[in-house]
Each structure stands twice: as structure tokens, then as C-alpha cells.
Amino acid sequence: MKKVLIVEDDASIANLQKDYLELSGFSVQIVNSGTDGLAALKMTAFDLVILDIMLPGVDGFEVLKKIREKEDIPVLLVSARSEEIYKINGLGLGADDYITKPFSSAELVARVNAHLNKFERMKERFGKLEEGSTIRVRGLEVHKDARRVFVNGNEVMMAQKEFDLLLFLLQNANRVFGKEELFERIWGMDALGDASTVTVHVARIREKIEENPSKPQYIGTVWGSGYRFIMG
């Protein structure tokens, strides 16, 4: 039975979602604040999170950031705010979907099922691609332990941070990461430089692994949000 966490401060909405999800065979827990949501995630291994943005105390965006630091599970943002900037921010922080209130419970259940199925397919596909210390995606091979990269059988030389950045994006395929987050994760909080360093390194990686760097098939740009490795 898949476990779903609902983080929603409106009890009537949360209970309605819970009823429909339980009727569809899910185990559901409700919390009404961002702080309680993060605490619940530490206690229980959930398969999916339904996260309201407008929460008391810690808002949904902050909760999403914390989730993405440790968890790779589907997160569906829900909000009454329909402005595009909210959707861009949410998806850029790593949300898998953005649903604008009001929406039907049937639609919610359908989206939950769709994202869980997609997540399972991605795990299965990635598991097949990764054998030992080597990850293969189309014509690209990344040897983690040896820190070597091959494109269509030909080795390409990577600087240390280029390799680290490529491997991080590959191991988090299809997730969108902002330049600031990538800089923090790869270079560290105390590193000299700024997020523009990420742009330079992405350009160098593309020159080395892409057949046509202006139309990348591996590292894609999500305008206004950041970069993602394109698993397909």
C-alpha cells in the first residue's frame, strides 16, 4: 500500500483528499503545517507528498527545498495561486506537478497515480542503466569510480567539477536544479565564485558530450529555473 502525506492547513480540503485517496487504496496521513510535514517525513517513508504552498509558519516552498535535500519522491504542489511565477518557482525547486485550487478529488487521485507510476518506471529504467559503477544513457557512459566519460565509445576529458556536475545531474535525472543550488551542492557554501560558474561549466560539458550543444540531448535548460539531465 503506497503511503501519501498531505500537508494542508485547511482541514476540510485535507479530509476530502484523504477520503478519495483511501478509497483508491492509499494509506494517508495529514499534517497541517510545514514544520509537522518535515517531522512526519523524518518518521515515515512516504511514497508521495501533496503539499500546499500557503502554510502557517514554514511555507510550502521552504518545505519543498528541505524535501529535495534528502528525498527523491514525487511532490505535488497545490495552491489557490494561479500566477505563473508560483508555478515556475515550484517546478524550479523540484516539484513534480502544480495543481491550482479548486480541483476535483478525482483529478487529484489520477495525478497521484500518474506520478507514482512515472516514478516507478524511472527507478526501473535507471536501475537497468546503472551497472556497477557505470551509468549508460544513449551514447553517453559515465564511469563513477574511474571518473571517466565516454561518448559513442570515445573518451572525453573532464575537469573535476565538470565531472561532478555531470554526475550529479545524471544521478538526479529529470529533476530541475537552479544555478544557485547547483553551485552550493558542487562547489560548497564556502567556495569562491558565484552561480554564473555553473553556466560556464554546463557550456563546457555540452561542448564535450553533445553532438549539437545548441540543441542538447543530455543537459537541458529550463528557462527561468535552471538545468536538468534529460533522461527521455
Q: What is the CATH number of the domain that holds 151?
A: 1.10.10.10
Q: Tell whether 137 and 105 lie within a shared domain.
A: no
Q: Tell whether 57 and 113 lie within a shared domain.
A: yes
Strand order in the sheet with 140-143: 130-131, 134-137, 140-143, 148-151, 154-156
Percent of the chain with pLDDT over 90: 49
Q: Tell whether 192 and 220 lie within a shared domain.
A: yes
Q: What is the pLDDT of residue 34?
A: 93
Q: Tell whether 28 and 117 lie within a shared domain.
A: yes
Count of CA atoms in the C-beta half-sphere (13 A) of 22: 11
Asked whether 32 and 63 are in contact (CB, 8 A), the reply is: no
pLDDT at 87 exceeding the cut of 90: no
Q: Tell whether 12 and 80 lie within a shared domain.
A: yes
Q: Tell whether 83 and 159 lie within a shared domain.
A: no
Closest CA to 182 of 205, 159, 206, 166: 166
Q: Tell whether 119 and 138 lie within a shared domain.
A: no
Q: Tell whether 28 and 98 lie within a shared domain.
A: yes
Q: What is the pLDDT of residue 123?
A: 66
Q: What is the pLDDT of residue 183?
A: 87
Q: Tell whether 119 and 16 lie within a shared domain.
A: yes
Q: What is the pLDDT of residue 130?
A: 54
Q: How far, in Å, CA of 208 to CA of 191, rounded?
A: 25
What phi and psi values does residue 68 have, to the nearest 5 degrees? -70, -15
Q: Tell me which residue range forms the domain holding 64.
A: 3-123
Closest CA to 218 of 226, 49, 228: 228
Q: What is the pLDDT of residue 3?
A: 94
Q: How far is CA 115 from CA 49, 74, 170, in A?
A: 11, 7, 20
Q: What is the pLDDT of residue 163?
A: 92
Given 92, 123, 154, the domain boundary residue is: 123
pTM over the 0.85 mark:
no
pLDDT at 131 exceeding the cut of 60: no
Q: What is the pLDDT of residue 210?
A: 94
Residue 50, Cα to own-chain centre: how many angstroms?
Answer: 14
Number of structural domains, the chain? 2
Q: Tell whether 105 and 161 lie within a shared domain.
A: no
Given 99, 123, 147, the domain boundary residue is: 123
Q: Tell whether 11 and 116 lie within a shared domain.
A: yes
| Domain containing residue 119: CATH number | 3.40.50.2300
Q: How confident is the model at residue 149 (pLDDT cuts 50, 70, 90)?
A: very high
Given 96, 123, 150, the domain boundary residue is: 123
